[in-house]
């Protein structure tokens, strides 16, 4: 069964989530279109899509709140980890060697968003996770047999 269409849709969802995340954090639209943010959104979306298909196949296509919440965290952690790795590489490249500049800030952002992403923004983002999972799963079901 091919997951390619579902992964493409989930990658697009990840890019949309990226725009939303940057705006929720107070960033301008232009910042959301930078390479490190776009790469983080695309990779997190693809990973979240894979996780969606994997978790729903385990349950015979049924949805559960526990898997939605797990998917939410998979996406957030992948998003921030990807962003931090890309930014660290960029900073080290620009400084022609290792630098600890902004490392604490980047790690603090991960902790901040994981914490507040569930408590404060989760009111919006967890239902959006349901919608994203529904969309990815429907694309997977319609195209997997082809």
Q: Are 75 and 40 in contact (CB under 8 A)?
A: no
DSSP state at residue 60? T
- What pLDDT sits at residue 139? 97
How many domains in the chain?
1
pTM confidence score: 0.84
- What pLDDT sits at residue 57? 94
Angle at CA of residue 48, ends 46 and 50, nearest 5°: 70
Cα 61 to its chain centre, rounded Å, is: 22
Q: Is 87 left (phi over 0), alpha (psi -120 to 50) or beta?
A: alpha
- What pLDDT sits at residue 77? 87
Which residues of the chain fall below pLDDT 70? 1, 99-103, 106, 113, 116-118, 146
Cβ-based neighbours of 56, under 8 Å, separated by 6 or more: 62, 63, 67, 133, 137
Q: Are 146 and 2 in contact (CB under 8 A)?
A: yes
Range of the domain at 137: 4-144
- What pLDDT sits at residue 116? 67
- What pLDDT sits at residue 1? 57
- What pLDDT sits at residue 85? 84
CB count in 10 Å sphere of residue 79 = 27
Q: Are 66 and 133 in contact (CB under 8 A)?
A: no
- What pLDDT sits at residue 137? 97
Q: Are 40 and 110 in contact (CB under 8 A)?
A: no
């Amino acid at each position: 069964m091919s997951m390619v269409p579902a992964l493409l849709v989930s990658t697009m969802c990840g890019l949309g989530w990226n725009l939303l995340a940057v705006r929720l954090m107070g960033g301008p639209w232009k910042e959301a279109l930078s390479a490190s943010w776009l790469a983080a959104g695309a990779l997190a979306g693809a990973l979240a899509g894979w996780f969606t298909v994997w978790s729903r196949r385990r349950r015979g296509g049924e949805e559960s709140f526990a898997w939605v919440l797990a998917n939410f965290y998979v996406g957030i952690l992948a998003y921030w980890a990807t962003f931090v790795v890309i930014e660290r590489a960029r900073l080290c490249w620009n400084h022609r060697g290792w630098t600890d500049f902004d490392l604490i800030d980047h790690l603090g952002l991960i902790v901040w968003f994981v914490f507040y992403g569930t408590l404060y923004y989760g009111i919006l983002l967890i239902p959006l996770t349901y919608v994203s999972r529904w969309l990815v799963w429907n694309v997977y079901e319609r195209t997997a047999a082809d």
